[in-house]
Amino acid sequence: MTAAVEQVAGRSLWQDAQHRLRRNRAAVIALMLIIGITALSIVGPWAAPHPYDTLNYDFIAIAPNLAHGFFLGTDAVGRDLFVRILYGVRISLMVALAATTVSLTIGIVYGAVAGYVGGRLDEAMMRVVDVLYSLPFMFFVIILMVVFGRNIILMFLALGAVEWLTMARIVRGQAMSLKNREFIEAAIAAGARTPTIIRRHIIPNLLGPVVVYVTLTIPQVILVESFLSFLGLGVQEPLTSLGVLISEGADEMETAPWMLIFPAATLAVLLFSFNFLGDGVRDALDPKDR
């Protein structure tokens, strides 16, 4: 009994969070699904019998056919739907991760500076956030895509440039609560400058909320990218994304329902998996449950 207590007492914050996350079955299953789908999207196209952009005019809009290697059927021009879904997952995840990275970089730095420095600088910086919050999010992204053209790199920047606002507010609140802690006062007394304190003391202690935010932002960005692609503002042919595939499937829903069912199911599994994982990480890092 004593050994068990000592083992728990000696566990670090992140070790305790990892232990609690492993006990959450829904989060573990969600993580396994995300890893499995991601790995399949990377390796699967190499092992598939048909390239993603090859037109098979003899097999236009056929249902799943294992005999000819079309595991999920073909689309309206005879392309292998299975391989295109894998490419769609790859593109959607890449857009989501890149846009989330951009939003985190901007949001963490912006929020940490505003929260720690405070005063008039904080007031001015947060008024900028309030003004940007008042702009219609989707309309702003669509305007960027229309003005500068359909470019996947621009999509990274456009989504990341509007997703950082919530992160900035979260980080600001955490920074304001941290700046009066003893270790910050000790760093100030030791002569540490403000940029050093923000970089070495404030930001590292914000990793908990940041990790939770990442797991919840990625599915949101995937959904936004799918919506933009559904509107025709996403990736261009011959590349594809889940939104493009769903848009194409919606046009052929009555004659070829598998073109809509399989991409939509893949998107739903990804979104639910990230949300369950995010809930699990949030619960694992919640100090109230310790």
* pLDDT over 50 at 79, yes or no: yes
What residues does each domain of the chain span? 36-44+77-289
* pLDDT over 60 at 132, yes or no: yes
- Contacts by 143-147, CB closer than 8 A, 24 or more apart: 145/228, 145/233, 146/233
User: Tokens standing for 165?
Assistant: 């606002």
pTM: predicted TM-score of the whole model, two decimal places: 0.74
Cis bond leading into 238, ω under 30°? yes
Give the residue, 160 or 3, on which the prediction is more confident: 160
User: Tokens standing for 186?
Assistant: 């000790």
* pLDDT over 50 at 2, yes or no: no
**CA distances in angstroms from 221 to 102, 125, 224, listed in the order given:** 12, 24, 5
Q: Convert 164-197 into a string of H (helix), E (strand) and C (coil).
A: HHHHHHHHHHHHHHHCCCHHHHHHHHCCCCHHHH
Instruction: Return the C-alpha torsion angle 73, 77, 81, 84, nearest 10.
Output: 170
- Rounded to a whole number of angstroms, the distance between the first and last alpha carbons of the chain is 19
pLDDT value of position 6? 43
- Asked whether 216 and 275 are in contact (CB, 8 A), the reply is yes
pLDDT digits 0-9 by tens, 20-31: 777 878 888 888
Query: Of 17-31, 72-86, 181-195, which range is least confident?
Result: 181-195
Average pLDDT over residues 278-285: 76
pLDDT value of position 8? 46
Going by pLDDT thresholds of 50, 70 and 90, the confidence category of residue 109 is confident
What are the phi and psi torsion angles at 74 (to 5°)? -130, 170
Q: Which CATH architecture has domain 36-44+77-289?
A: Orthogonal Bundle (1.10)
Burial class (CB in 10 A: 0-12, 13-18, 19+), 36: exposed
135: number of Cβ within 10 Å: 11
